[in-house]
Amino acid sequence: MSDSISPSYGDTQTTAWIRGLVSLAWADGHFDKEEQDMITNLLHQDLKEHEQATALESISPTELADGLGHDPKLAENFLRMAVMVAIADGDYSAKEDDLLHQYCQALDLQPEALQLLRTTLQNLAEAQPTNGSEPAIASELLAPAPGTEHLDVLHPVREWLDHMDVHDPKVARLLCKMIPSQCPFERDITLFGRKLVHIPPLCKLNPLYDQMVGLRFRALSYLADKCGEDVSELV
């Protein structure tokens, strides 16, 4: 490995990064056993045994800031990834929003793009019928309607996310495994020849899909060009 490669994150920083994302994924209460097993399998290759035992434990915002070492650049990159995790499943809940806000306070960062996103999402959530449940929005509502001049409210957020750098092989491999290499095909679920539900492709469900694909490409490039790794199995 070349001496010009940017220093990798320390074990403590990587574990804090992963625990922060897991805590966010768990914030809305829908982090089931299958998802836990998936993340455990993804981490098995790159984490030491003692790190694997704690990787799925929740982490407080203060612990997160201490674990990341109060590094502003690392902290902002973490927040970028946290936003993608929060919106990736097609819904954005009040609990996810609250935890993101706590992360910002603990990390002493208030990115303008993230503040715009929070305000937009909060306004949309309040406007949606809840039927007594926790306010949440379907993230496809953020995308401009085809053929209209509707304002793309996420444009500043997209630009902010596109500046996320990859400087650690563990994080890079995790990104490549978690982000699909291509947009999954849309499909219909049928029963006895009758369509029950239509599932759109991920690129329509997730308004930040292009940013995720771009991040995956940068992670692959980092592993191949900077670390000299064979990424054929990740492509």
Rg (CA), the chain: 18
C-alpha–C-alpha distance, residues 169 and 233, integer Å: 15
In the block, residue with structure tokens 């929005």: 137
Q: State how far the alpha carbon of 84 is from the alpha carbons of 25, 88, 114, in Å.
A: 11, 6, 11
Compute how many other C-beta atoms are within 10 angstroms of the C-beta atom of residue 5.
14
Q: What is the pLDDT of residue 229?
A: 92
Give the Cα separation of 151 and 57 in Å (integer).
39
DSSP 15-78: HHHHHHHHHHHHTTS---HHHHHHHHHHHHTTS-HHHHHHTTS---HHHHHHHTTT-HHHHHHH
User: What's the rounded Cα separation, in Å, for the pair 180 and 189?
Assistant: 21
pLDDT score of 117: 77
In CATH, the architecture of 11-167 is Orthogonal Bundle (1.10)
pLDDT per residue rounded down to tens, the chain (235 residues): 333 344 467 878 888 888 898 888 788 766 656 556 666 666 666 666 666 667 778 899 999 999 999 888 889 999 998 888 777 666 677 788 889 989 999 999 988 888 887 777 667 666 665 555 554 444 444 554 555 444 466 788 888 889 888 888 888 887 887 777 777 666 666 665 666 666 666 666 677 778 888 999 999 999 999 999 999 888 7
**pLDDT of amino acid 4:** 39
Which of these, 59, 22, 9, 48, lies nearest to 178 by C-alpha position? 22
pTM flag (> 0.85):
no
Beta-bridge partners for 191: 194
Confidence (pLDDT) at 195: 62
